[in-house]
Amino acid sequence: MNIFKYLSDKLSNALRNVSDQGRLTEVNIKETLREVRMALLEADVALQVVQDFISRVKDKALSNKVNNSLTPGQEFIKIVRIELVNAIGNNNNYLNLSTQPPAVVLIVGQQGVGKTTSVGKLGKYLRDTNNKKVLSVSADIYRPSAIKQLSILTHQAGIDFFSSQTYQKPVDIVNQALIQAKKNFYDVLLVDTAGRLHINDFMMNEIISIHAAIKPVETLFVVDAMTGQDIAKSAKVFNRVLPITGVILTKVDGNARCGAALSIRYLTGKPIKFLSLGEKLDTFEQFYPDRLVDRILGMGDVLSLIENIERKVDSVQANKLVSKLNHGDSFDMLDFLNQIKQIRNIGGMASMINKLPGMSKLPDSLKLQMHDNKILVRMEAIISSMTAQERSKPEIIKGSRKRRIAAGSGMQVQDVNRLLKQFEELQRMIKQMKNMKKRWNSKNDA
């Protein structure tokens, strides 16, 4: 998550000096906390959030429990982790859908924060992970393209869309959609609304009327993660007129600092429920405070990685490959191509690397190279330029064939050589694993 990279780098540097300390003193604790404080303020975290966080960490760090610990430096980092989790919400809060269907979810927020896209993403998420039958509707009559945009997004997401017109009243639109949702036994009705400023009384009264008409079980406030602390003011006003139940944080893949993300839970008292991580509809995940903090502190997020793989990897294709290898067949270029496509489907190497522990300690040059998802695109282009025979028997690829493949894929011959070398290394690894498995099985049989 690019938006947290700035803070992650700053905190890693601040905590590195104290992590291996055999003894903590008030001096080195204060010095470290001064650096942590600067890191949080520079990341645009709200001042009162920072002050409360630093105060809590300091009190716990100076306790006898930490000083008497065998690894006080590690104990200190543990305290920082716990208090960061507490600052952004100390537990996971999922949607409350335990009501007589359809469960109505109202999406609100300012203009340009990604509400309509969030409706499409949330609908796909509920369909894919919860097996919900979802209907969506747009009550945004002020932006001509809004209704059409949601229609396209919901079609791509594989959920249903209730058509509306710009000449209708928003309250009439949502009432008709609710009747349709009940009539056709939908599990969830997602309601997209127009972007509105909290200082516009007409628009705020309209959203109050919509809320009163459909009585949603969830009212989700959409926040652009690239916005600074000002978003908290808007959220507080929205929360005064509507019973907001949670937050969707969008544009988390951006390069801005993450002050809004770490401040909004503390300032509004409303939990972040979902993160929107990119432009594609499947870049949407449930929010877990502890997992996010682990990523920020460079501890990885293996659980989210596993969930992502389970959701996006083609299990049928994966099982075919396992069966093929178990039968003694060789791993060929077509298998390699399929694996590259699977990695790209998950979100590329960057998505996987960001969630692995210890990656923050790698040299920047190596991290930059590993984050280059274009490498996968180039590899796919090279394999796609091979004939069926070359994919099944890559050992026949020599001089003239290499030149033809390079030209066909728009690459250089050295790029083809690099791919073939990587493939050979992968083949060697698979062969070693198969031999180890054979030896293990024969040992157990004996």
Give binding residues for GTP as ranges.
109-116, 192-196, 250-253
In 3-state terms the chain splits into helix, strand, coil percentages (rounded to 5) of 60, 10, 30
- What letter would DSSP give residue 359? G
Q: Which residues are annotated as a binding site?
A: 109-116, 192-196, 250-253
Structure tokens at 440: 């293990």
- From residue 278, alpha-carbon distances to 29, 106, 283, 381, 411 in Å are 38, 22, 5, 24, 28
Instruction: Note whether 46 and 104 are within 8 A (CB).
Output: no
Residue 244: which of 273, 224, 277 has the closest Cα?
273
d(CA 86, CA 173): 40
User: How far is Cα 397 from Cα 388, in angstroms, rounded to an integer?
Assistant: 12
Strands (E), 208-250: 218-224, 246-250
Question: How far, in Å, CA of 444 to CA of 446, rounded?
Answer: 5
DSSP 3-state assignment of 248? strand
Output the CA torsion 376→12→362→380 (10° steps): 0
* Amino acid occupying residue 87: A
Distance CA 329, CA 339 (A): 16
Residue whose pair of structure tokens reads 């065998």 in the numeric block: 70
CB 305 within 8 A of CB 356: yes
**Amino acid letter, residue 366:** L
Tokens of 152: 């396209």
